[in-house]
């Protein structure tokens, strides 16, 4: 047993099995799963703090450690996880068997690195106190005193804000009892969920990605707005009230505040004391529907806070339940602290709060916005994690290849169109895209304007929009032979060529600038511009109407118009290069704006301006005679459906 205790003291880790099973069957026979209980940042005065950035494997991004194999002569180290050979950088040039950096010492299996340019500057800590005012004066007095002491202990550079809540939510500069009268047979009007939603949104606007904590002090159950836990169905409505006395204020705050005001009108419940708060028996029987809704609400809050890098701490002090069971998901997934006591005057609360802000080295013993990465060798796979954390799903997103995914989706949809009777390709593509965006997008529930995608995913909806409009899905203008030809070429070509088939490239040539890629949109057409479209099967050169008129007048052959001649020649040379390298050879179409063959280009463009659009095209521009939706409308619908 002592060796296990020594390991925990050194690295902060205890394992159920300290010998890894050699086979899957051995792992099954263990019954108790192979697991590790890890304490991040466990205090240990013997852990070295290194004043430089960690050295990572160029393949798997694991960090140089004492288990790495080192070739001191060649100045190469082998990653023990993926066996990639890595060269040491210049500042490791003096490394030798007798001159090891600390991370290679066998006794230093855990090391710390100081903040560097790689990890970014250390931002000041942010504390947003969210305070329940639906309490008796005595309780508010206890809480005022405790908060005053806590604020005195904060580091000087800290940013501090206050939000109070009762019947209303207020961003305030003073703390006082909620003035709303409470009948003797009623619970207080307490909108805890709305207050936490406002707090999360304010921090998301003002200090996204920095270390910030929402410290919620709750003295009773939520009875107003989302997150309520009482059992009644009687509805009352109140207006959200806000003041602009926040430590950082921007106009963007108003957007999130308005969003929260709508939340305040959802799920308002009766406050009758004759109806008890849910019990374990109610939960087991499924007779506490509000509890399920509250948990779902706090799950959404937790996702928002995790994406912002912020923490929710909960101090629940009351003789009655306050809804810790429902708020648990938001506290735990953000790595927050929870304290449960009978009163804000009880030593359990007062001493716990004081201990949080006490420190011995001019810094708080708190961690903010930490990211825990796990690297494994090829024979080990992480099944899951239980504890005060949540998955960032970064591994999946970071490994997503949008172009390869577009090519795969194109092959899948064409295969299903051939193999499955009554298959609806548009519906299948739309459902797949909505599911993907709902899973990996960042958004507030039921708020389409909050939707965003990681850069690793941001182009994929555009690929799907163009795939829906491509010759692979829209077959009515093609014969079965042509469709079969297109599909066979899609299935045999590499990703780069498949992407061109799905979403053609469009290059602009003009006197104002050199060749440059432009959006595949009808607004790219201009009278004084030449466009080169490569859709793989067809290469189109379109001359704007002014360019066409000059060409027909023969200006390119006249002295003094050499620049115009070069402008005409440039897209032709690029088209020739494309045709020369491609097999089968694509069709070349040279046409003029408003000419009949311009249809080869127009059919591929996003119809952002059509014959029935309110916004006319710019002078020299063009419109599309189609009822197809534009990419913007497509995205609006996608966002609305993904956040449901």
The total number of structural domains in the chain stands at 1
Higher pLDDT pick, 32 / 378: 32
Residue 263 has pLDDT above 60, yes or no: no
The predicted model gives 132-139 an average pLDDT of: 93
Q: Rounded to the nearest 5 degrees, what angle is found at the Cα of 138, between the Cα atoms of 132 and 143?
A: 45
Residue 568 has pLDDT above 90, yes or no: yes
Say what the pLDDT of residue 395 is: 66
Confidence of residue 256 (pLDDT cuts 50, 70, 90): very low
Rounded distance, CA 562 to CA 577, Å? 22
CATH of the domain at 11: 2.30.30.380
Q: Which residues contact 551 (CB under 8 A, 6 or more apart)?
A: 543, 568
- Is there a domain that residue 37 lies in? yes
Residue 240 has pLDDT above 90, yes or no: no
Say what the pLDDT of residue 359 is: 67
**pLDDT of 19-57, one tens digit each?**
888 888 888 888 888 888 888 888 888 999 999 889 998
Say what the pLDDT of residue 114 is: 85
Residue 494 has pLDDT above 50, yes or no: yes
Residue 242 has pLDDT above 60, yes or no: no
Return mean pLDDT, the chain: 84
Higher pLDDT pick, 255 / 644: 644
Say what the pLDDT of residue 44 is: 87
Residue 202 has pLDDT above 60, yes or no: yes
* Alpha-carbon dihedral 539, 544, 547, 549, rounded to 10 degrees: 110
Q: The domain containing residue 9 runs over which residues?
A: 1-113
Say what the pLDDT of residue 265 is: 35
- Residue 134's nearest CA partner among 186, 199, 99, 77 is 186
Higher pLDDT pick, 465 / 157: 465
Tokens of 129: 């106190």
**pLDDT of 540-555, one tens digit each?**
999 999 999 999 999 9
- Is there a domain that residue 191 lies in? no
CA 16 to chain CA centroid, nearest Å = 34
Confidence of residue 459 (pLDDT cuts 50, 70, 90): very high
Rounded distance, CA 39 to CA 370, Å? 13
Say what the pLDDT of residue 361 is: 54
- Is there a domain that residue 367 lies in? no
Say what the pLDDT of residue 272 is: 76
Say what the pLDDT of residue 2 is: 78
Lowest mean pLDDT among 97-111, 179-193, 290-304, 496-510: 179-193
- Residue 42's nearest CA partner among 16, 19, 12 is 12
Higher pLDDT pick, 181 / 298: 298
> What is the percent of the chain where pLDDT is above 90?
49
- Is there a domain that residue 7 lies in? yes
Residue 569 has pLDDT above 90, yes or no: yes
CB-side neighbour CA atoms (13 Å) of 464: 26
Residue 141 has pLDDT above 90, yes or no: yes
Q: Which residues contact 642 (CB under 8 A, 6 or more apart)?
A: 434, 437, 438, 441, 443, 451
Rounded distance, CA 547 to CA 264, Å? 59
Orientation of helix 253-263 relative to helix 192-206, angle to 10°: 160
Residue 636 has pLDDT above 80, yes or no: yes
> What is the percent of the chain where pLDDT is above 70?
89
Say what the pLDDT of residue 222 is: 87
**pLDDT of 100-131, one tens digit each?**
999 999 999 999 988 765 555 667 889 999 99
Look at residue 314 and give its three-state secondary structure. Answer: strand
- Is there a domain that residue 76 lies in? yes
Residue 236 has pLDDT above 50, yes or no: no
- Is there a domain that residue 145 lies in? no
- Is there a domain that residue 84 lies in? yes
Say what the pLDDT of residue 235 is: 28
Residue 253 has pLDDT above 50, yes or no: no
Tokens of 302: 């937790």
Q: Are strands 76-78 and 85-87 parallel, antiparallel or unpaired?
A: antiparallel
**pLDDT of 426-444, one tens digit each?**
999 999 999 999 988 888 8
- Is there a domain that residue 137 lies in? no
Say what the pLDDT of residue 8 is: 87
Burial grade of 427 (CB within 10 A; 0-12, 13-18, 19 or more): exposed
pTM: 0.63
What are the angstrom distances between the C-alpha of 581 and each of 222, 372, 541, 588, 600? 68, 47, 18, 14, 21
């Amino acid at each position: 047993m002592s060796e296990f205790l020594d390991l925990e003291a050194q690295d902060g880790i205890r394992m159920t099995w300290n010998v890894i099973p050699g086979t899957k069957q051995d792992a099954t026979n263990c019954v108790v799963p192979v697991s590790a209980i890890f304490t991040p940042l466990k205090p240990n005065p013997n852990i070295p703090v290194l004043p430089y950035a960690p050295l990572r494997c160029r393949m798997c991004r694991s960090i140089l450690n004492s288990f790495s194999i080192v070739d001191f002569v060649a100045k190469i180290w082998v990653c023990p996880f993926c066996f990639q050979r890595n060269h040491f950088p210049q500042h490791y040039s003096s490394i030798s068997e007798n001159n090891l950096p600390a991370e290679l010492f066998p006794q230093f299996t855990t090391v710390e690195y100081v903040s560097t340019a790689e990890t970014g500057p250390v931002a000041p800590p942010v504390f947003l106190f969210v305070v329940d005012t639906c309490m008796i004066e005595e309780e508010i007095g206890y809480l005022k005193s405790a908060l005053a002491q806590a604020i005195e202990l904060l580091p000087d550079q800290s940013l501090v804000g206050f939000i109070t809540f009762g019947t209303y939510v207020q961003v305030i500069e003073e703390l006082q009892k909620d003035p709303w009268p409470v009948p003797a047979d009623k619970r207080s009007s307490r909108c805890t969920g709305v207050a936490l939603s406002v707090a999360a949104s304010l921090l998301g606007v003002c200090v996204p990605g920095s270390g910030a904590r929402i410290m919620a002090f709750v003295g009773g159950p939520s009875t107003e707005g989302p997150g309520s836990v009482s059992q009644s169905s009687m509805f009352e409505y109140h207006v959200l009230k806000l003041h602009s006395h926040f430590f950082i204020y921007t106009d963007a705050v108003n957007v999130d505040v308005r969003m929260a005001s709508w939340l305040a009108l959802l799920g308002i419940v009766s406050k009758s004391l004759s109806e008890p708060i849910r019990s374990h028996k109610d939960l087991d029987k499924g007779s506490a529907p509000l509890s399920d809704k509250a948990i779902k609400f706090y799950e959404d809050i937790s996702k928002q806070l995790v994406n912002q890098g912020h923490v929710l701490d909960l101090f629940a002090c009351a003789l009655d339940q306050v809804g810790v069971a429902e708020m648990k998901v938001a506290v735990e997934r953000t790595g927050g602290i929870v304290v449960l006591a009978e009163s804000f005057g009880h030593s359990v609360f007062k001493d716990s709060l004081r201990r949080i802000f006490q420190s011995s080295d001019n810094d708080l013993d708190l961690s903010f916005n930490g990211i825990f990465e796990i690297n494994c060798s090829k024979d080990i796979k992480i099944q899951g994690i239980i504890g005060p954390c949540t998955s960032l799903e970064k591994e999946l997103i970071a490994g997503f290849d949008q172009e390869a995914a577009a090519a795969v989706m194109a092959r899948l949809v064409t295969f299903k169109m051939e193999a499955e009777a009554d298959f609806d390709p548009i519906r299948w593509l739309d459902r797949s895209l909505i599911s993907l965006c709902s899973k990996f997008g960042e958004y507030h529930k039921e708020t389409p304007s909050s939707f965003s995608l990681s850069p690793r995913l941001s182009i994929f909806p555009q690929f799907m929009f163009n795939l829906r409009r491509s010759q692979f899905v829209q077959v009515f203008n093609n014969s079965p032979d042509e469709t079969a030809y297109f599909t066979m070429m899609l299935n045999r070509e590499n990703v780069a060529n498949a992407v061109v088939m799905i979403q053609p490239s469009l290059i602009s040539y003009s006197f104002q600038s050199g060749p440059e890629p432009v959006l595949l949109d009808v607004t790219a057409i201009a009278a004084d511009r030449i466009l080169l479209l490569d859709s793989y099967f067809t290469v189109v050169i379109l001359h704007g109407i002014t360019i066409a008129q000059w060409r027909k007048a023969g200006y390119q052959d006249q002295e003094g118009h050499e620049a115009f001649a070069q402008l005409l020649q440039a897209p032709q040379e690029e088209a020739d290069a494309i045709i020369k390298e491609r097999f089968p050879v694509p069709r070349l179409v040279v046409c003029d704006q408003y000419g009949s063959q311009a249809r080869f280009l127009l059919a591929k463009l996003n119809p952002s301006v059509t014959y029935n659009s309110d916004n006319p095209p710019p002078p020299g521009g063009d419109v599309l005679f189609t009822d197809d939706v534009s990419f913007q409308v497509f995205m609006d619908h996608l966002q609305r459906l993904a956040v449901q």
